[in-house]
Amino acid sequence: MKKALLVAALSVCSAFSMANAETYKFGTEATFAPFEFTDDKSNVIGYDADIIRAIGEAESFEVQIVNMPFDALIPSILTKQLDGAIAGITISEERAKQVAFTDPYYKSGISAIIRRADKDKYQKITDLSKSRLCAQIGTTGANAAKEISGNVGTYNTVPEAFMELKAKGCEAVVNDRPVNLYFLATKKDDSYVEIPELVSGENYGIITNKKNTELLQKLNSGLKKIRENGTFQKIHQKWFNVAE
Ligand code: GLN
């Protein structure tokens, strides 16, 4: 009898502590390796997934990751369907009018990938000024492509843009450089190359609703903690094979 009571009391306790840990829902677009992609069981994995889970651990909140189109992330935060988003999102003034950004957590930039056969034809980004370009919709890559040539086809995902490049529907994919390099390194066919020139430098931040200052503060505090306890560096090394 006594034992049964103890068991009952313990399970109430653990149910209580679980219910006590806040769960935050973060959106991402999981075809953006190595930042976010899926394993063979459809779990979201990658640099961003590791970062947000480590922050959750440091700040004692539960993390739920929801996969959705990139251009749905900000609208879903504005309508409170998501608490936040981590998706290799570049900090920009325009976006900062709508949502709040954490401190920067990754230095990125934009580059162009072309077909290897066109290597001599397109040696510099400006050589693409009259070409049709491919990019992911709603991204800074799409904005850069519009500045380069103005003739841009946009796709829901980066892999679709690469398929279009291969099918000769465009002459280059303009996209975040670390994702381009990961694509070149992991792709089995070598029919693509990068124009070795950076279009612009950018920083990634995690976004939240502007009204949710509590979550923003937890994210910044968690980022600081994981930098201090070495977790951040471990995650960087795991996905990029080099120190930050
Ligand atoms: N960094 C780019 C942007 O914020 C691309 C992000 C992405 O496609 N996930 O627009």
Across the range 55-78, mean pLDDT stands at 98
Q: What is the pLDDT of residue 40?
A: 96
What is the residue whose two structure tokens read 């209580």? 16
Of 1 and 183, more confident: 183
- Pocket flag, ligand 1, residue 128 (CB < 6 Å): no
- DSSP letter assigned to residue 67: E
Contacts of 126 (CB under 8 A, 6+ apart): 148
Read off the pLDDT of residues 155-208 as tens digits, 9 standing for 90 and up: 999 999 999 999 999 999 999 999 999 999 998 778 999 998 999 899 999 999
The CA 226 to ligand 1 mean position distance, Å, reads 23
Taking the CA of residue 95 as reference, the ligand 1 atom at the shortest distance is: 4
**pLDDT greater than 60 at residue 1:** no
- Pocket flag, ligand 1, residue 180 (CB < 6 Å): no
Q: What is the pLDDT of residue 122?
A: 97
What is the residue whose two structure tokens read 């850069």? 144
The CA 16 to ligand 1 mean position distance, Å, reads 39
Q: What is the pLDDT of residue 137?
A: 97
Supply the pTM of this predicted model. Answer: 0.91
- Pocket flag, ligand 1, residue 31 (CB < 6 Å): no
Read off the pLDDT of residues 118-140 as tens digits, 9 standing for 90 and up: 999 999 999 999 999 999 999 99
142 to 2, 4, 31, 56, 233: CA distances (angstroms): 66, 62, 16, 32, 30
- Pocket flag, ligand 1, residue 88 (CB < 6 Å): yes
